[in-house]
Amino acid sequence: MTAQAQRTVLTYGTFDLFHPGHVQLLKRARALGTRLVVGLSTDEFNALKGKKSVMCYEDRKAVLEACRYVDEVFAEDDWDQKVADAIRTGADVFVMGDDWLGKFDFMGEHCQVVYLARTPEVSSTEIKQRMRDERTALTLV
Ligand code: C2G
């Protein structure tokens, strides 16, 4: 593909317990361009975000790299790396789920900013809660 036809999409996340909400986000993001690069939160950055993922960074990275919609995965370990990442990757579009609506509008100076509707009723938190409920039910029998 000639260089001028390349259209790079950039997004970020933890992508713990990879689920259909993540897939739908990545699928729609990829459809906005010809290449999707993902900043994957490191375990240390998750601690800064107040999140603890079930899967470590290396495992979450392996899963993302296996996703048909993802072309490249790099480490996200700082809130302030996005502009540099957009410049480094030549991002044309920055995408996040709309739970982040407005939070990254500053990226509009460097690329198009798109917030996509979150997929309802699925989240890593909900999956973890379902597993806890299952375990509780089993201990009660
Ligand atoms: N997402 C979604 N639908 C869901 C769950 C998540 O569309 N049911 C989207 C989120 O909006 C986000 C992406 O999937 O755009 C990844 O979600 P998380 O792994 O929860 O990422 P988050 O903790 O929001 O990290 O600097 C930005 C942060 O790294 C974003």
Instruction: Give nearest CA residue, ligand 1 atom 4.
Output: 21
The structure tokens 């044309």 sit at 92
CA 137 to chain CA centroid, Å, is: 32
Q: Which of 9, 10, 11, 12 to mutate to test the pocket of ligand 1 (most atoms within 8 A of CB)?
A: 12
CA of 77 to the centre of ligand 1 (A): 15
Residue range 40-80, pLDDT digits in tens = 999 999 999 999 999 999 999 999 999 999 999 999 999 99
49 is catalytic: yes
Dist. CA 124–CA 141, nearest whole Å: 26
Rounded distance between C-alpha atoms, residue 61 and residue 73, angstroms: 7
Q: Which residues line ligand 1 (CB under 6 A)?
A: 12-15, 21-22, 25, 41, 51, 76, 96-97, 99, 118-119, 122-123
C-alpha 109 – ligand 1 centre gap (Å): 22
Alpha helices in 4-98 (DSSP H): 20-30, 43-49, 57-66, 82-89
| Percent of the chain at pLDDT exceeding 90 | 92
The structure's pTM equals 0.95
Instruction: Tell me the pLDDT tens digit for each residue of 15-32.
Output: 999 999 999 999 999 999
Query: Where in the chain are the domains?
Result: 3-140
Determine the average pLDDT of the residues in 116-132: 95
The CATH number assigned to the domain with range 3-140 reads 3.40.50.620
